Amino acid sequence: MKPKNSSISNDREPCKTTAASSAHARPNRKSTASSAMVMKPNGKSAVSSVILKKPNASTAVSSAHDVQVMFFRDVSLGPTEAVLRFRLVHFWEARNPNTKTLIGQEMILIEEEGTVIQGFVPAGRVGTYELEPGSVYKLGNFFGSRNKALYRVTDHSATVTFAWNTELKILDNPLVSIHEDRFRFHSYEEFYANCDRKVDLYDYVGHMKLVNGQTITEHTVLDEVDISDKRHLCVHVQTHDGPVMKLYLWDKAASDFCVKFKSYGSTPSVLLVTTVNPKHLGGTLALTSMASSRVFMDSDVQPSRDYLGWLSSNSDIANKINAEVITKPETATLEELFAYIKQETAKVAWFECTATIDDVVQGSPWYYISCGGCNSKAVKGPTSLICNNKKCGKSIVTGVAQYLTRISVYDKSEHAVFVVLGDAGKELPGKHASKLVASYFETKEGVEADQCVPVPQALLDTIGHTYKFIVKVSDHNLSGKTQTITVTKIFPPEAPQPIALGRTRCSNNVW
């Protein structure tokens, strides 16, 4: 016997609002298993956070042909024959993290009151229903399961689980207006409180400071091959004037990020990621994407548009923390640097070392000729220089001299050999390598263009001077292939504070 307030509605309802899709749900059809967002005819995303007024809470009966529809707030545990009417916001595959065995399909559903509930299709029934994010459905016969305790994506205590006799039909033209999305944002403090607890997965919105270590500029280009190989990328994000956090996007979230990032005419500023997991990584709070995560940027959804508006009006606050402060590496002596490299758990990392230059290594080239486009090494071709980087794509390039200078350094604990690459070397003599090379050939008439230029005096004059170096411990260091440490940036040491001059009182009390 059906509950008093439940009955199955007609397959189609009179038109009042336009649904996000007109696809029909047919049995025995494989699911597209895609979380792609449905696009409206005008090209805009069909996802929005517009909040509509709730209907009268005392009315749980739809007026569409007097069909009785259960609201999500009335869903309880156990089998139910009532009818639900909702929009499918998003769905994804749930798999065992160890065996990768399919557990089922998980869904986020939202109904006309704006309440969000989780849906679930067991593995044995995956493919039985054709699911399309953004479409509105009518569902009859389901089982109210207890919402999971770990990695929850909704506040509701129950989950709508598809049963053996579940009937799912699409509504092309639903009579009622149903919200298209709903977000659950959390602050830094709330994420920190839930760190490593594996409980609810909340949403995050903020402005991007760095992408894989690159400062956000108008010409930021993503290395998609590297991101694909590593299966993830790291974005430094900040909400208003709060702390900067690392946000790691994995697999599909990483690829979605790349697609959206490139789709904008100019570099986007705002990033909104749903259902992120707060974790301690490297001793600090970080957010990581999950299988359920979705990625939005500047104008994709209302919350990102709202944040972009704030960002445009408060650029001084947003730029208060610069990229160098965000990525300031840990300070280490040379002895501590070598001790880190010997650790079995050591990974690629950056450190700040203060050391004195003991010598500039001579007898080997102190510069290399690079591609003027990507700074990779250029090699001689039959008639011109060719870029050695396959990703660059330039067959003919203009060669530019770049630093490749080996220096011997020391501090109070140890000696080391640093190799200074690219623009980092400019801080030593105060000139680009190309200018030093050009100066040599200008003063040496008749010298062949391919002759190696000796180490210039401007570099030798740095011997005995102390600098602050930002160095990178690379895979080559960790694998034991080389002990030479790469320098990525050089700062002059902070000048000592001047000693205030004044009268000194002598022991005989005479000034």
Strands in 229-319 per DSSP E:
232-238, 244-250, 270-281, 284-288, 295-297
For domain 188-326, the CATH class is: mainly beta
**Is the fold of 188-326 the same as that of 330-442+452-491?**
yes
Give Cα 216 to chain centroid, integer Å: 12
Average pLDDT over residues 370-395: 69
Asked if the model's pLDDT at residue 289 lies above 50, the reply is yes
The residue ranges of DSSP E strands in 216-269, in sequence order, are: 232-238, 244-250
pLDDT of 505 over the 70 cut: no
Whether 14 has a pLDDT exceeding 60, the answer reads no
The length of the chain in residues reads 511
Query: Does pLDDT of 510 surpass 70?
Result: no
Is it the case that residue 52 has pLDDT exceeding 80?
no
AA letter at 340: Y
- The arithmetic mean of pLDDT across residues 196-205, rounded, is 91
The model's pTM is 0.58
- Could you tell me the pLDDT band of residue 438, with boundaries at 50, 70 and 90? confident
Q: Which H or E element spans position 207?
A: strand 202-211
311 — pLDDT class (breaks 50, 70, 90) = very high
Q: Which sequence spans correspond to the domains of the chain?
A: 1-182, 188-326, 330-442+452-491
Instruction: Name residues whose C-beta falls within 8 Å of residue 269's C-beta, 6 or more positions apart in sequence.
Output: 207, 208, 216, 298, 308, 311
Domain 330-442+452-491 architecture: Beta Barrel (2.40)
pLDDT at 24: 36
pLDDT digits (tens, 9 = 90+) for 71-129: 999 999 999 888 999 999 999 999 987 888 999 999 999 999 999 999 999 999 999 99
Share above pLDDT 70 across residues of the chain, in percent, rounded to a whole number:
78
Q: In the predicted model, is pLDDT for residue 346 greater than 70?
A: yes
The residue-averaged pLDDT of 412-435 equals 89
Tell me the average pLDDT across 428-437: 87
Residue found under tokens 């990703």: 391
In the chain, what percentage of residues exceed pLDDT 90?
Answer: 41
**Is 90 exceeded by the pLDDT of residue 160?**
yes
**pLDDT given for residue 64 in this prediction:** 40
In the prediction, which pLDDT does 376 show?
Answer: 72
Domain 1-182 carries which CATH code?
2.40.50.140
pLDDT at 316: 85
Buried b (16+ CB within 10 A) or exposed e, 282-308: eeebbbbbbbbbbbbbbebbbbbbebb
Q: How far is CA 163 from CA 7, 140, 160, 342, in A?
A: 17, 10, 9, 56
Q: Which of 204-208, 221-225, 258-262, 393-397 comes out lowest in average pLDDT? A: 393-397
Closest by Cα among 248, 32, 228, 251 to 130: 32
- Give the Cα separation of 408 and 410 in Å (integer): 7
In the predicted structure, residue 460 carries a pLDDT above the cut 50: yes
How far is CA 361 from each of CA 298, 417, 432, 460, rounded to the nearest angstrom? 50, 9, 18, 9
Q: How confident is the model at residue 282 (pLDDT cuts 50, 70, 90)?
A: low
